[in-house]
Structure 1
């Protein structure tokens, strides 16, 4: 019997991911890569972030080594799934990634052309965002310092197969959400760039008269990040921010994290703190909108007033290239608090800073609002996928009508948003 879009009583068939329509194969990447100065680019887990491949500093492996892993040699449209750390994070290989390979920390899900035409790949990518998927992947991962998901466990993930009318309706909603998200990210970026422009204009105004300089450590309280400490049983945890999350954050506002940690009260940074993380060629500064614990190689700054916070944020954004001189290590991914606290920035009068903050804060409100709208749309889509026509996991049935065993969702750890 065909399930109509309005019929919410008929459970959808469920299959394991390895049997999902149109999947050609799933594969591990390269286990022991031999890194070379030039060769075939290789994507690792840290490059897969928020649905995108962030390959700023490419890792290369010898051509012969890559050729020994043909199943993970990328084609456009391949789905990349993180297996280590941020388990379940996904991205889609683009045209530019043709012929690249991946590390063993990333799984490659390859599709048959006809399944991509039917957008089954889009359905699976969004199903991996649901609480059902995340709970299963968390439960199936090891409990080591870095959670690790076996490929076999990924292949056993239960995925619903909605009937065509329902699937078309929900895929249209997913496509709308993705297009709207692209627009929202662009609006947020433009709002932040306009605030940057106001800052430069304020600097030019200051240039017409003597302007004092202050060290960063004089205008804000600086703290260093801590290592991730997984909880034991019922320990209270706080959102933990890795330097990669700071560096790859799509907007200037960071309000969600993928990990939680056990931390001492002094390690927790209040909402409105600035987080600073370096990498080769750049130092990135973002503004938190929730309580967070910064990770190692991340510095946090707390200011007393919005005027100080806005001026400091845009000062550090304006000087992100100059700040790279403070970065240490072969990959320039660390920065000493002592050196950073001595860094000088222009510090005009209270009146100038307050006037700038008034303009900048309004633009930050706009940027944050459109980002939250994107999150709300994603939550709506995920809700429709899991609640609109699909029963709870404990009630799923196979294509033959047999019930599939599942863990009780009430016993699984919640992956709460920051």
Structure 2
């Protein structure tokens, strides 16, 4: 059978994902991974898929015997990973570095035929999963409140629209250019953040120890606990809800969008500029919210007075990421203890030092955030290119 059959139609065609020409298989990962094996095979979980890549900072490993029992999801280069639990529909392409790894039950693996890869069907499907129309469909098919789950059968049955080859070739070229620009912007944002961290280290080192008394975190900001997602009730409004993983997976210390919303009274909403803190086994990460947001359960929100205080606190917490694990609680330290965190001591320099640092750091953070915003704009432009068919409408 000609593998390219179905890839050269003259008009738009629509069909289920599992039957798309160029799609070889769709499956999910390990159901019973067992205990973490330090010498085992890396296993990618839903939380490890972030911004189109695999976050390797908190990987777990399965025993080789478990991996052998689950060969169907031993991933290959160019496989497409799709999140089935939590941030439904997030994706990442498997690179050569991840070849031979496995995935958890919370991740689906879409494998393509050689003809499918050559024709760019993997890229098309990855972008299609990011369209607002598809996101709405996946959310509607997911169950649960805080931890939505998409059945594999529903992913397989997801309808995908393909344009004719000449149009698809043009759009795929646009996608390639967009991905190159997004990669450049991501590097710019990372370098700007690293430079701000370096300036902080210098300011912290040069500050007179006599003028840097240690104070509990609660003395320099208001510490607020997180809350689970809630359904609509009288007297509430729809607000962005930040899950801990969105903080942990953020490539720069800014969060300007979330995958989910919650319904909460206005007095529970944290204003832009609020710092969000989330833990995992090896570190505690801190980002600044760029939008009104409600922090998710297991994390904390910090309200500081003034930009200089927020900027210094953000970098002080980033510099003490490993130490702050002691303020987390629960299994594998995956939830913040508000009491412990509030008492954690931080050196706090004079207002003059904080103001001087802010004058340097704020423009660098603005550059990083501008790169992030440009990436979102590029993504929206590409997605709008895909909206030429009724099934792709936003």
TM-score by length of 2: 0.91
**Residue ranges of structure 1 left out of the alignment (5+ in a row):** 1-9, 397-408
- Cα RMSD of the aligned pairs, angstroms, is 2.2
Residue 183 of structure 1: aligned partner? 184
Quote how far apart the aligned CAs of 1:150 are: 1.9
Q: Equivalent residue of 1:375, what SS?
A: helix
Spell out the pairing of 1:8-407 with structure 2 (5 A cutoff). Answer: 12-37=12-37, 38-143=39-144, 145-207=146-208, 210-231=211-232, 236-386=237-387, 390-393=388-391
Decide whether aligned partners of structure 1 residues 343 and 143 sit closer, same or farther in structure 2, where only a CA change above 3 A counts.
closer
Decide whether aligned partners of structure 1 residues 322 and 32 sit closer, same or farther in structure 2, where only a CA change above 3 A counts.
closer
Any conservation in 1 of the 2:41–2:64 contact (CA below 8 Å)? yes
Quote how far apart the aligned CAs of 1:207 are: 2.9
Q: What are the superposed Cα offsets for residues 216-238 of structure 1, whole Å, 9 maximum, x if unpaired?
A: 11111110111122447996321
Any conservation in 2 of the 1:308–1:353 contact (CA below 8 Å)? yes
Decide whether aligned partners of structure 1 residues 209 and 381 sit closer, same or farther in structure 2, where only a CA change above 3 A counts.
same
Distance in 1 between residues matched to 2:45 and 2:205, nearest whole Å: 43
Distance in 1 between residues matched to 2:135 and 2:234, nearest whole Å: 19
Distance in 1 between residues matched to 2:84 and 2:246, nearest whole Å: 17
Q: Equivalent residue of 1:191, what SS?
A: helix
Any conservation in 1 of the 2:31–2:105 contact (CA below 8 Å)? yes
Q: What are the superposed Cα offsets for residues 140-187 of structure 1, whole Å, 9 maximum, x if unpaired?
A: 222455322222211221212212221121111111111111111111
Distance in 2 between residues matched to 1:79 and 1:169, nearest whole Å: 22
Distance in 2 between residues matched to 1:322 and 1:36, nearest whole Å: 23
Distance in 2 between residues matched to 1:166 and 1:76, nearest whole Å: 27
Quote how far apart the aligned CAs of 1:334 are: 2.5
**Residue ranges of structure 2 left out of the alignment (5+ in a row):** 1-9
Decide whether aligned partners of structure 1 residues 133 and 210 sit closer, same or farther in structure 2, where only a CA change above 3 A counts.
closer
Q: Equivalent residue of 1:262, what SS?
A: strand
Q: Equivalent residue of 1:316, what SS?
A: helix
Distance in 2 between residues matched to 1:101 and 1:209, nearest whole Å: 53
Quote how far apart the aligned CAs of 1:330 are: 4.1
Quote how far apart the aligned CAs of 1:67 are: 2.7
Name the count of aligned residue pairs.
384
